[in-house]
A and B are shown apart, each in its own frame.
Chain A
Amino acid sequence: MPAPAENVGTFRDRIAVNRRNSLLLILIFLAFVTVLGYVIGYAWVGDPAGAVFGLLLAFAAGTVSGLATYYAGDRMVLAASRAREITHDEAPVLFNVVEEMAIAAGLPMPKVYIIEDSAPNAFATGRDPEHAKIAVTRGLLEKLDRDELQGVVAHEMAHVGNYDIRYAMLVGILVGTTVLISDFFLRTLWFGRGQRRGEGGGQIQLIMFLIALVLAVLAPLFARLLQLSISRQREYLADATAVSLTRNPKGLADALQKISSDREVLEVANRATAHLYIANPIKKFERRAKGLFSTHPPIEERIRILRAMETGGVPQQAP
Chain B
Amino acid sequence: MGTVLTILIVVVAVVIVVYAIATYNGLVRRRNEVEEAYRQIDVQLKRRYDLIPNLLEGVKRYFRQEQDVLTEITRARSAAMQPHSPREQAQAEARLSGAIGNLFAVAENYPELRSERVLLDFQEELSSTENKISFARQHYNDSVQAYNTKIQSFPAVIFARAMGFTEREYFEAAGPERESVTVSYD
Contact = CB atoms under 8 A, between A and B. Distances in A.
Interface of A: 1-5, 7-12, 14, 92-93, 96-97, 99-101, 103-106, 236, 240, 243-245, 247-249, 305, 309-310, 312-315, 318-319
Interface residues of B, number: 35
A236 B124 contact: no
A314 B177 contact: no
Nearest to B129: A96
B159 interface: no
Nearest to A11: B183
Nearest to A104: B135
B57 interface: no
B173 interface: yes
- Among B132, B138, B172, B179, max chain A CB count under 10 A is at B138
Contacts of A1: 172-173, 177
A98 to B, nearest CB: 10
A96 B128 contact: yes
Contacts of A10: 182-184, 186
Most buried by A among B142, B144, B179: B142
B182 A103 contact: no
Most chain A beta carbons < 10 A, residue from B128, B145, B182: B182
A247 B185 contact: no
B141 A309 contact: no
What does DSSP make chain A's interface, helix, strand, loop or mixed? helix
Interface string B37-62: 10010001000000000000000000
A305 B185 CA distance: 8
Contacts of B136: 103-104
Contacts of B184: 7, 10-11, 14, 314
Contacts of A240: 183, 185
Given A96-B125, A106-B142, A313-B182, 16 more contacts: A1-B173, A2-B180, A4-B180, A8-B145, A14-B184, A100-B135, A103-B132, A104-B138, A104-B139, A106-B33, A106-B36, A248-B181, A310-B181, A312-B182, A314-B182, A314-B186
Contacts, number: 102
B36 A92 contact: no
Given A2-B170, A106-B36, A240-B183, A100 B177 contact: no
A315 B185 CA distance: 7
B112 to A, nearest CB: 22
A14 B136 CA distance: 23
A2 B145 contact: yes
Determine which residue in A96, A245, A305 has the highest number of CB atoms from chain B within 10 A of its CB, and name it.
Answer: A96
A7 B182 contact: yes
A92 B125 contact: yes
Contacts of A319: 185
A9 B183 CA distance: 9
Interface of B: 33, 36-37, 40, 44, 121, 124-125, 128, 131-132, 135-136, 138-139, 141-146, 149, 170, 172-173, 177-186
Given A103-B139, A104-B138, A3 B180 contact: yes
A309 B181 contact: yes
Contacts of B180: 2-4, 7-8, 247
Among the interface residues A1, A10, A105, A245, which one has the most CB atoms of the partner chain B within 10 A?
A: A1
B183 A7 contact: yes
B185 A96 contact: no
B124 A244 contact: no
A93 B120 CA distance: 11
B182 A309 contact: yes
Nearest to B185: A318
A4 B145 CA distance: 10
B44 A103 contact: yes
17 contacts: A1-B172, A2-B141, A2-B145, A2-B180, A3-B145, A5-B149, A14-B184, A101-B135, A103-B40, A103-B44, A104-B139, A106-B143, A248-B178, A305-B185, A312-B181, A318-B186, A319-B185
B98 to A, nearest CB: 21
B183 A92 contact: no
A92 B124 contact: yes
A194 B33 CA distance: 58
Given A106-B33, A106-B143, A100 B128 contact: yes
Which residue among A3, A309, A310 has the maximum number of chain B CB atoms within 10 Å of its CB? Answer: A3
Given A4-B180, A7-B180, A99-B132, A236 B185 contact: yes
